[in-house]
Structure 1
Amino acid sequence: MKLERLISMIYKLLNHEVLSASLLAEEFQVSKRTIYRDIDVICAAGIPVISHQGIKGGYGIMDGYKMDKSLLGSYDVDSLITVLSSLSTVFEDERAQGTIERLQTVGTSPQTPSLAVDLETLRTDPDALRHLRAGITERKVVCFDYINAKNERTTRDIEPIRLHFKYSNWYIYSFCRTRRDYREFRLSRMMNCSLTQETFQPHHDAPKETDLLRQDQVSEVVFRVGPKALAEAMDHFHQADKQFHDDGSLTMRIPVYQPLEARWLLSFLLSLGSGVEVLEPFELRGIIKEKLQKTLQLYEEV
Structure 2
Amino acid sequence: MSIHRLLEIVYILLDKREITAKELAEYFGVSQRTIYRDIDSLSVAGIPIYTVKGKGGGIRLLENYTLSKTLLSEKEQLDILSSLQSLKALNVPDVELVLAKLTAMFDINNTDWIDVDFSQWGSGVVEKEKFNLLKTAILNRNVVAFDYYSSYGEKSYRIIEPIRLLFKGQAWYVNGFCRTKDNLRLFKISRIKNLTITNETFSINEHDDIGNNPQDPTNNLTIKMATLVLKIDPCMAYRVYDEFDQDSILHNKDGSFTVTVTYPENEWLYGYVLSFGEHIEVIEPKYVREIIKKKLEENLRKYL
State whether TM-score is above 0.5.
Answer: yes
Instruction: Provide closer, same or farther for how the CA distance between residues 16 and 253 of structure 1 changes in structure 2, counting only shifts above 3 A.
Output: farther
Superposed CA offset, 1:83-135 (max 9, x none): 422422432521x234424543564633x56x943321343745433443344
2:90 match: secondary structure: helix
Instruction: Provide the residue aligned with 2:251 in structure 1.
Output: 244
Greater shift, 221-230 or 152-161, is seen at 152-161
- Cα displacement (A) at 1:212: 3.2
The answer to whether residue 230 in structure 2 is matched with residue 223 in structure 1 is yes
- Cα displacement (A) at 1:277: 1.4
- Cα displacement (A) at 1:225: 1.8
Identity across the alignment (%)? 26
The answer to whether residue 110 in structure 2 is matched with residue 117 in structure 1 is no
- Cα displacement (A) at 1:273: 0.7
The answer for unaligned runs of 5 or more in structure 1 is: 22-30, 51-58
Q: Quick one: which of 266, 269, 288 aligns to 1:284?
A: 288
Instruction: Provide closer, same or farther for how the CA distance between residues 184 and 36 of structure 1 changes in structure 2, counting only shifts above 3 A.
Output: closer
Q: Is the 8 A contact 1:159 1:174 kept in 2?
A: yes
Q: Is the 8 A contact 2:282 2:288 kept in 1?
A: yes
Q: Is the 8 A contact 1:16 1:60 kept in 2?
A: no
Q: Could you tell me which amino acid in structure 1 is paired with residue 270 of structure 2? A: L
Instruction: Provide closer, same or farther for how the CA distance between residues 72 and 6 of structure 1 changes in structure 2, counting only shifts above 3 A.
Output: closer
Instruction: Provide the residue aligned with 2:303 in structure 1.
Output: 299
Instruction: Provide the residue aligned with 2:216 in structure 1.
Output: 208
Q: Quick one: which of 124, 145, 148 aligns to 1:146?
A: 148
2:67 match: secondary structure: coil
Instruction: Provide closer, same or farther for how the CA distance between residues 191 and 36 of structure 1 changes in structure 2, counting only shifts above 3 A.
Output: closer
Instruction: Provide closer, same or farther for how the CA distance between residues 68 and 145 of structure 1 changes in structure 2, counting only shifts above 3 A.
Output: same
Instruction: Provide the residue aligned with 1:25 in structure 2.
Output: none
2:176 match: secondary structure: strand
Instruction: Provide the residue aligned with 2:43 in structure 1.
Output: none
Instruction: Provide closer, same or farther for how the CA distance between residues 15 and 120 of structure 1 changes in structure 2, counting only shifts above 3 A.
Output: farther
Q: Is the 8 A contact 2:178 2:184 kept in 1?
A: yes
Instruction: Provide the residue aligned with 2:262 in structure 1.
Output: 255
- Aligned residue pairs: how many? 275
- Cα displacement (A) at 1:61: 5.3
Q: Could you tell me which amino acid in structure 1 is paired with residue 131 of structure 2? A: L
Instruction: Provide the residue aligned with 1:34 in structure 2.
Output: 26
Instruction: Provide the residue aligned with 2:85 in structure 1.
Output: 85
- Cα displacement (A) at 1:268: 1.7
Instruction: Provide closer, same or farther for how the CA distance between residues 299 and 246 of structure 1 changes in structure 2, counting only shifts above 3 A.
Output: same
Q: Could you tell me which amino acid in structure 1 is paired with residue 8 of structure 2? A: M
Superposed CA offset, 1:26-77 (max 9, x none): xxxxx99933977966566434589xxxxxxxx9855323336666432233
Superposed CA offset, 1:139-184 (max 9, x none): 4432223344444444333332322356786432334444555443
The 2-side partners of 1:128 and 1:6 are apart by 36
Instruction: Provide closer, same or farther for how the CA distance between residues 211 and 70 of structure 1 changes in structure 2, counting only shifts above 3 A.
Output: farther
Counterpart mapping for 1:11-160 below 5 A: 12-13=11-12, 16=15, 34-35=26-27, 42=35, 45-46=38-39, 47=49, 63-67=63-67, 72-94=72-94, 96-104=95-103, 107=106, 109-110=108-109, 116-123=113-120, 125=127, 127-160=129-162
The 1-side partners of 2:139 and 2:84 are apart by 17
Q: Is the 8 A contact 1:15 1:104 kept in 2?
A: no
The 2-side partners of 1:274 and 1:11 are apart by 64
Instruction: Provide closer, same or farther for how the CA distance between residues 69 and 275 of structure 1 changes in structure 2, counting only shifts above 3 A.
Output: farther
